[in-house]
Structure 1
Amino acid sequence: MNPALAIDTPRPLNEYTPTTLEMLKAVRREGFLGWMLNTWRQQGDLFRIRMGSQSFVLVTHPDHVRDINVTRRERYDKGESYDVLRELLLGNGIVTATGDDWRRQRKLMAPFFTPRGVEKFYPIFLSDTQQLMERWRSRHLGSGRPVEMLDEMMLVTASVILHSVFSTESDEAVLRIKDSIETMLTHISDMRVRPVRVPQWVPTPGNLRFRRAQKLVTDYIRELIARRRALPTEQWPDDLLTKLMTTKDEETGMLMAEQLLIDNGLTMFAAGHETTARTLSFLWYALSQNPEVERRLHAELDSVLGDAPPTLNDLKRLPYTLQVVKEVLRLYPAAPMYARDAVADDELDGVRIPAGTRMIIFTYGTHRHPAFWDEPERFDPDRWLPEREAARHSYAYHPFAIGPRICLGNNFSLLETHVMTAMLARRFKLRLKPGHVPRIDMSGTLGSRNGLPMLIEAR
């Protein structure tokens, strides 16, 4: 492929225009994600899908992923595709900000999320996982009753984020904020797939639930900020909210404005707990379906950890555990696709991309591209042996996006997942409910339409 700009003879972009009936039948039969996967396999690595008045270009090949996110990134940004998230959930926080506003926020916040920076939250990862283990032992172990694994993982990752960002201590507050954020996320996901968008001011039951949840969360963050400002700064807890409240912009010398503190508090919680919970849920599913992988994982954990919880140094001696995590992120990326909007005319592989084009980067497809992955549907953690990883196309794997706008919390999520996998897999086996076949699909993020009910067994 030739990613260079070729303005002389651009070739037309292949287009696919399914009828509404055709698409509905396919989605009912295969799920939306399955339909997208099959459409990519039939249409190729770069093509436009038109659905009524809506259209987007599906991007799958690693070369194009690189061009949009790295080498030609000045021509793409988070534009109109993110307007709903800006309006209803994240405001102008780090995920949805653009241009100089984004650059200032990224520069201010990036030091908190380096591999070394996120190690300060290690005690929270340990203590919250230990609490989950105790709850499993007292409530679920040997009961013969399956638990919904996504709910279990959502609860522990929500606790981790609320402790890390806000120093929230109350279990009741954790549940209340978690449930409210999930109500908001579900409302936004449902709204995106409706053929007609009902304005937010219309008092439908869904809109009213959303407003109540939004008010609860924003009031909670606003009150936390007010209580801290009423205290001497030396009494403020050492959490992410305090860091955002006390770190000055190097260019302006100004502190972050209150609305931006609220926006970023919401962003860190909404983006930080759900995606990690989905990764962990699919990790337990993958282990239950791959007994040899599970055996090797258990052998490594038993030989390194014994009966003690892992230390940071122990994690360096658990490479296979991290390989398992990376393979889960490949086959089951929490965000199966993400958008970028062309803000200037461009060409990709000789195809003209006009400004205003919505580009959907299909991570789920890239991670299954047969030109870059042998037996792509097979769960194989040995893909992540150092020599095999080094030989692979650098942009064939992007579960957290890639380039300057890679997810800011990727190091936090990887460390959290590594710790929880080590601790939980050392003590428990999780088994999919007999006869249950997950219907894997996406509604904003990856999930199973009929859940992931699992039995918790002791090791």
Structure 2
Amino acid sequence: MNPALAIDTPRPLKEYTPPTLELLKAIRREGFLGWMTNTWRQHGDLLRIRMGAQSLVLVTHPDHVRHVNVTRRESYDKGESYDVLRELLLGNGIVTATGEDWRWQRRLMAPFFTPRGVEKFYPIFLSDTQQLIERWRSQLQGSGRPVEMLDEMMRVTASVILHSVFSTESDEALLRIKNSIETMVSHISDTGMRPVQVPQWVPTPGNLRFRRAHKLVTAYIRELIARRRALPTEQWPDDLLTKMMTIRDEETGTLMAEQLLIDNGLTMFAAGHETTARTLSFLWYALSQNPEVERRLHAELDSVLGDAPPTINELKRLPYTLQVVKEVLRLYPAAPMYARDAVADDELDGVRIPAGTRMLVFTYGTHRHPAFWDEPERFDPDRWLPEREAARHDYAYHPFAIGPRICLGNNFSLLETHVMAAMLARRFKLRLKPGHVPRIDMFGTLGSSNGLPMLIEAR
């Protein structure tokens, strides 16, 4: 063989095809996320997994994460993997748009979500968290009754996002929209996990619930848009919907079309409240399991904050609180994995990747990679001391994805989580229900199949 030819020939991609019965048993025993993690640990960083008719390439090593998201980003996009989300929930909003359409939306909307831009919503973070504090004080603290923490966090983050995007004031409207979108998200997650797909036109109970929820939410957003257009613009509320309705492309003067306003309104709510709620839920779980971390967090909060809600400047004096948030995002990323589709032939680490290949970027695995994290399963906020963070591989941590398609709302979510963690931990301790062992798994996003029941105690 010609040595030069051998060097240029891509090496074969390692493959793993579990027998169907073995796969089903393993997922039932370990959960889908546990099975994926064990498969990665057993077979390595770059692996093609065949599951029946489905095939995907698992991407875990930070160098490979960089290749897909940054170095060769033009070869990977949100293609077929996102068709269900496009069709059923998000339309052509910024999360699912591709190519020039995505670049146009990103250019218009990015200024709203810079670190300085999201500070505009700080008063909403404070007031909605304060309402939760009052409710916990009056109804729950010391009651001895466990609450489902994910439900509690969903309620407050839904309030934040509805106030921020739509200026919704009515509690009835808030709960109606929140419940409808959660019905839609749950339906899509359940559909994606089924081995046999039932067409959406079949009138199953799940499909009918989904249609009712989708009709309600889209009608609500459409009505808000119509009401605003009937008023002089100076009377429009200063929220994200108004910003989207009034922003013009600097080059063409083009405004967002009504359907795109609806798509992005849905996108901001669906993506903006659930993931933050899951991060906060696992933050309380992590603190309940790590008393020394909780003690240090309480000491920082008590030394900086009084009884009033924190100012922006006070929040900046809570570095350990932010380190705790970052460590929760490492061990418990709300999106444990995300897809990218190869739109052109490529070569990754000497392996040929044909166009059409589905790449599954395995955030949950990257965040536990032993080559980049000491004792990766240990909850250690000191990993986020500035000198340790600076020394780490830039792509070993990507809870909001990374590169040009990093989540647009990452700064919004980080600030919201920082505020809520500080205000709630200043006043309460949250304890996992005695004897409860969460079964952590992925249901579209990270969750616990048996919940996170917690007791609320006053500090």
TM bracket, shorter-chain basis: over 0.9
- Displacement of 1:252: 2.0
Following superposition, the deviation at residue 308 of structure 1 comes to 2.1
Tell me what 2:390 maps to.
390
Taking a change above 3 Å as real, the CA distance of residues 316 and 5 of structure 1, as seen in their structure-2 partners, is farther
Partner Cα distance (1:403, 1:354) in 2: 22
1:178 deviation in Å? 0.4
The CA deviation at 1:350 is 0.3
CA-to-aligned-CA distance 1:192-228 (integer Å, 9 cap, x gap) = 0111211111111000000000000000000000000
- Aligned residue for 2:447, secondary structure, equals strand
Work out the CA distance in 2 between the residues paired with 1:191 and 1:13.
30
Shift of 1:8: 1.8
Task: Please say if residues 440 and 449 of structure 1, whose CA atoms lie closer than 8 Å, have aligned partners that are also in contact.
Answer: yes
The 3-state SS of whatever aligns with 1:415 is helix
Per-residue CA deviation, residues 244-286 of structure 1 (Å, 9 max, x unaligned), is: 0000112321110000000000000000000000000000000
Paired with 1:318 and 1:190, the residues of 2 have a C-alpha distance of 39
Structure 1 segment 220-369 matched on structure 2, within 5 A: 220-369=220-369
CA displacement, residues 28-47 of structure 1 (integer Å, 9 cap, x when unaligned): 11110000000000110001
- Alpha-carbon displacement from aligned partner over 1:124-161 (angstroms, at most 9, x marks no partner): 00000000000001110111000000000000000000
Q: 1:27 to 1:4 in 2, by over 3 A?
A: farther
2-structure distance, mates of 1:71, 1:372: 20
1:382-411 C-alpha deviation (Å, 9 max, x unpaired): 000000000000000000000000000000
Shift of residue 3, structure 1, vs aligned partner: 20
**Aligned counterparts of 1:76 and 1:132: Cα–Cα separation in 2:** 42
**Equivalent residue number for residue 378 of structure 1:** 378
Question: Using the alignment, how far apart are the partners of 1:313 and 1:99 within structure 2?
Answer: 39
Q: Is the 8 Å Cα contact of residues 3 and 349 (structure 1) preserved in structure 2?
A: no
Query: 1:185–1:4: structure 2 CA closer, same or farther, 3 Å change rule?
Result: farther
d(CA) in 2 for partners of 1:127, 1:293: 27
Distance 1:456 1:6 in 2: 64
Number of aligned residue pairs: 459
Aligned 8 A contact 1:2 1:349 in 2: no
Which secondary structure does the structure 1 equivalent of 2:142 belong to? coil
Query: In the aligned structure 2, how far is the partner of 1:37 from the partner of 1:3?
Result: 37
CA contact (8 A) 1:3 1:64 kept: no
**1-side partners of 2:307 and 2:129: how far apart?**
15
Change (3 A) 1:237 1:172: same
User: Per-residue CA shift, 1:39-98, capped at 9, x if unaligned?
Assistant: 000110001000111100000000000000001100000000000000000000000000
Residues 2 and 350 of structure 1 are in contact (CA less than 8 Å); yes or no, is this contact kept in structure 2? no
- The more displaced of 21-30 and 296-305 is 21-30
CA contact (8 A) 1:275 1:335 kept: yes
TM-score (normalizing by structure 1): 0.98
Distance 1:458 1:32, change over 3 A: same
- Deviations 1:413-454, CA, capped at 9 Å, x for gaps: 000000000000000000000000000000100000000000
Residue 19 of structure 2 is aligned to residue 19 of structure 1? yes
CA apart distance, 1:229: 0.1
8 Å contact from structure 1 (residues 3, 348) kept in 2: no
Q: Following TM superposition, where does structure 1 have runs of at least 4 consecutive aligned residues deviating by more than 4 angstroms?
A: 1-7
Q: Which runs of 5+ in 2 are unaligned?
A: none
Aligned-residue offset at 1:6? 11
User: Which secondary structure state, in structure 2, belongs to the residue aligned with residue 7 of structure 1?
Assistant: helix
| Aligned partners of 1:181 and 1:270 also within 8 Å | yes
Aligned-pair CA distance for 1:4:
16
Distance 1:373 1:4 in 2: 37
Indicate how the Cα distance of structure 1 residues 3 and 385 shifts in structure 2: closer, same or farther if over 3 A, else same: farther
TM-score (structure 2 length as normaliser): 0.98
For structure 1, the 5+ residue unaligned runs are none
Residues 6, 350 of structure 1: 8 Å contact kept: no
Identity %: 91
Deviation at 1:2, TM superposition (A): 22
User: Counterparts of 2:198 and 2:79 in 1: how far apart (Å)?
Assistant: 22
CA distance in 1, matches of 2:157, 2:440: 21
Instruction: Give the secondary-structure state (helix, strand or coil) at the position aligned to 1:217.
Output: helix
Q: Secondary structure at the match of 2:7?
A: coil
Q: CA RMSD in A?
A: 2.2
Flag the 1:5–1:316 CA change in 2: closer, same or farther, 3 A.
Answer: farther
Distance 1:7 1:85, change over 3 A: farther
Distance, in Å, in 1 between the alignment partners of 2:251 and 2:258 is: 19
Distance 1:7 1:189 in 2: 43
Report the CA distance between 1:380 and its aligned residue: 0.1
Report the Cα offset of residue 309 of structure 1. Answer: 1.2
* 1:39-438 alignment runs, 5 A limit: 39-438=39-438
Check 1:29–1:2 CA distance in 2 against 1; reply closer, same or farther (3 A cut): farther
* Distance change (3 Å), C-alpha of 1:452 and 1:3: farther
